[in-house]
């Protein structure tokens, strides 16, 4: 039996997702929280379509009726330097 990667960030295969759904995590939001899909560094950009399609096939829900779980910020990567205070401020003592 071949293994198909569904979420590359979280190392989730199709078998992991199907097993979670059969264990009762049969809503996309609870599936997200249980498996960590959509929660890796890409915030689901690479796996959302895979997970939603597999979820639809496993549960019988029509894909068009499903909503991709909410992506939480930071959706776009930012540099560490952008978080550092600017030099020359009052805190430079
Ligand atoms: S591939 Fe799933 S969160 Fe990045």
The whole-model pTM stands at 0.76
Closest CA to 58 of 50, 70, 68: 50
What lies within 8 Å, CB to CB, of 34 at 6+ separation is 20, 23, 25
Pocket of ligand 1 (CB under 6 A): 7-10, 37-40, 42, 44, 46-47
The full set of domains in the chain, from first to last, is 1-67 (1.10.10.1100)
> Of the residues 4, 47, 55, which should be mutated to test ligand 1's pocket, given the most ligand atoms within 8 Å of the CB?
47
Q: What residue's CA is closest to ligand 1, atom 2?
A: 7
Q: How many angstroms separate the Cα of 85 from the Cα of each of 13, 22, 27?
A: 41, 48, 42
* pLDDT given for residue 73 in this prediction: 65
Q: Where residue 27 falls among pLDDT bands split at 50, 70, 90?
A: very high
């Amino acid at each position: 039996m071949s293994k198909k990667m569904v979420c590359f960030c979280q190392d989730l295969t199709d078998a992991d997702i199907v097993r979670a759904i059969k264990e009762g995590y049969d809503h996309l939001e609870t599936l997200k929280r249980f498996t960590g899909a959509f929660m890796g560094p890409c915030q689901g950009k690479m796996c959302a379509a895979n997970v939603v399609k597999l979820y639809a096939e496993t549960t019988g829900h029509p894909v068009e009726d499903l909503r991709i779980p909410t992506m939480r910020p930071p959706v776009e990567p930012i540099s560490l330097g952008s978080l550092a205070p600017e030099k020359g401020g009052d805190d430079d003592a």
